[in-house]
């Protein structure tokens, strides 16, 4: 992938798209808007879609908000945005002379998502990669986030154009990788991990979602997708921060837009790890 230094090298990576071996992966980082003061940015990523990345993002945001921090969620999953629905937000984003104003959930979490800008919520976003990537960048610098302790980025799944833009243009403090305990997903998780490493972004740890299901009658745990991601976390040298079961009450809360009211402790440990960023 990497090339030798371009013969016409100006020494300024920020205005060049060559992928030379000497390129600093963070040289394309963009500043956020002048009205924003964002202390920590945490990316939530996954190797593939459908493993519960958005649910994990939402739960971590709610937990940090419950701890008293000022929290926002940038929904960078442009082609599969689910954050507004999770929080029951049906309004459209407003704009004033300072920029685009994020929506606010009932408990004060700030949200920006493409679904707040579309006329019809069910219109597909049929855009090419660079246009989608441009929207993500706009969410980073044109949205008036104000003062935030934590901005969570619900990254697009995979390792394509748009996740690359997120990693290159937004100064992430760290990422959390969400996976499910299937061999296939675990394989793809390594790609996500390697991508973060290539971009010099710390991987805080892994959240294993859909780890098991508890029988409502006998309370026994069934590991329907197989046994655990400990092996892969160990292999990659990162902590397994949490194991979250398939919990139908969570899915219902998402569907009813009432996710802020969840009452479970699955990701408490992960939230405590994220809180440590405040003391770094
Ligand atoms: P992704 O962001 O990885 O595509 P989502 O977070 O949107 O995945 O989750 C996909 C679907 O699975 C959603 O309908 C969500 O409500 C549901 N879901 C995710 N995790 C769980 C869980 N632990 N228990 C029950 N339903 C879940």
Tens of pLDDT, residues 153-200: 999 888 778 888 889 999 999 999 999 887 666 778 888 899 999 889
What crossing angle do the helices spanning 268-275 and 53-66 adopt, rounded to 10°? 60
Which atom of ligand 1 is closest in space to residue 56's alpha carbon?
Answer: 6
Cα 135 to middle of ligand 1, angstroms: 24
What's the pLDDT at 10? 63
Q: How confident is the model at residue 59 (pLDDT cuts 50, 70, 90)?
A: very high
Task: Determine if ligand 1 sits within 6 Å of the CB of residue 136.
Answer: no
| C-alpha to C-alpha distances, 13 to 131, 161, 184, 195, 230, nearest whole angstrom | 21, 18, 36, 19, 39
Give the single-character DSSP code of 39: E
Helix/strand/coil for 34: coil
Q: The domain 37-279 is classified under which CATH number: 3.40.50.720, 2.60.40.420, 3.40.50.300, 3.40.30.10?
A: 3.40.50.300
Q: Could you read off the pLDDT of 65-96 as tens digits, one per residue?
A: 999 999 999 999 988 889 999 999 998 889 99
Nearest to 31 by CA among 150, 141, 143, 151: 141
Question: How many angstroms separate the alpha carbon of residue 150 from the centre of ligand 1?
Answer: 22
Probe residue for ligand 1, chosen from 176, 206, 251 as the CB with the greatest number of ligand atoms within 8 Å: 251
d(CA 61, CA 271): 9
Compute the distance between CA of residue 178 and CA of residue 109 in angstroms, rounded to an integer: 21
195 lines ligand 1 (CB under 6 A): no
Per-residue pLDDT at 177: 95
- Residue 116 Cα to ligand 1 midpoint, Å, equals 20
Task: Output the pLDDT for position 2.
Answer: 41
Query: Is pLDDT of 17 > 60?
Result: no
pLDDT band per the 50, 70, 90 thresholds, residue 131: confident
CA of residue 194 to ligand 1 center, whole Å: 24
Gap between the Cα atoms of 4 and 7, Å rounded: 9
CA distances from 184 to 157, 167, 226 (A): 15, 24, 11
Closest CA to 139 of 59, 78, 80: 78
pLDDT tens-digit readout, 227-236: 777 788 899 9
Of 221 and 3, more confident: 221
Task: State the DSSP H helix or E strand holding residue 159, giving kind and residue range, or none if neither.
Answer: none
* Residue 12 pLDDT: 55
Q: Where are the domains of the chain?
A: 37-279
Q: Which residue has the tokens 């980025």?
A: 153
* Ligand 1 touching residue 187 (CB < 6 A): no
Q: Is the CB of 116 under 6 A from ligand 1?
A: no
Question: What mean pLDDT do residues 217-242 have?
Answer: 88
Residue 224 Cβ < 6 Å to ligand 1: no
Q: Is 250 in the pocket of ligand 1 (CB under 6 A)?
A: yes
pLDDT at 221: 92
């Amino acid at each position: 992938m990497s090339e030798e230094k371009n013969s016409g090298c100006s020494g300024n990576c920020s205005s060049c798209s060559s992928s030379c071996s000497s390129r600093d992966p963070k040289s394309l980082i963009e500043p956020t808007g002048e009205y924003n003061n964002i202390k920590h940015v945490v990316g939530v990523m996954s190797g593939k879609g459908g493993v519960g990345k958005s649910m994990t993002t939402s739960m971590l945001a709610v937990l940090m908000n419950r701890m008293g921090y000022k929290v926002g969620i940038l929904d960078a999953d442009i082609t599969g945005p689910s954050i507004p629905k999770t929080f029951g937000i049906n309004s459209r984003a407003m704009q004033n002379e300072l920029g685009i104003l994020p929506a606010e959930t009932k408990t004060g979490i700030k949200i920006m998502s493409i679904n707040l800008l579309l006329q019809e919520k069910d219109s597909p976003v049929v855009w090419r990669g660079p246009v989608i990537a441009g929207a993500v960048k706009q969410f980073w610098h044109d949205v008036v986030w104000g003062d935030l302790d934590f901005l969570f980025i619900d990254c697009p799944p995979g390792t394509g154009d748009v996740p690359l833009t997120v990693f290159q243009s937004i100064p992430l403090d760290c990422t959390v990788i969400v996976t499910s305990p299937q061999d296939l997903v675990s394989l793809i998780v390594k790609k996500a991990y390697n991508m973060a490493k290539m971009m010099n972004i710390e991987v805080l740890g892994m959240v294993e979602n859909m780890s098991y299901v508890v029988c409502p009658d006998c309370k026994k745990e069934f590991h329907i997708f197989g046994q655990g991601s400990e092996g892969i976390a160990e292999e990659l040298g990162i902590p397994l921060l949490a194991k979250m079961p398939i919990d139908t009450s969570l899915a219902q809360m998402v569907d009813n837009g009432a996710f802020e009211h969840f009452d479970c402790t699955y990701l408490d440990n992960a939230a405590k790890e994220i809180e440590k960023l405040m003391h770094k």
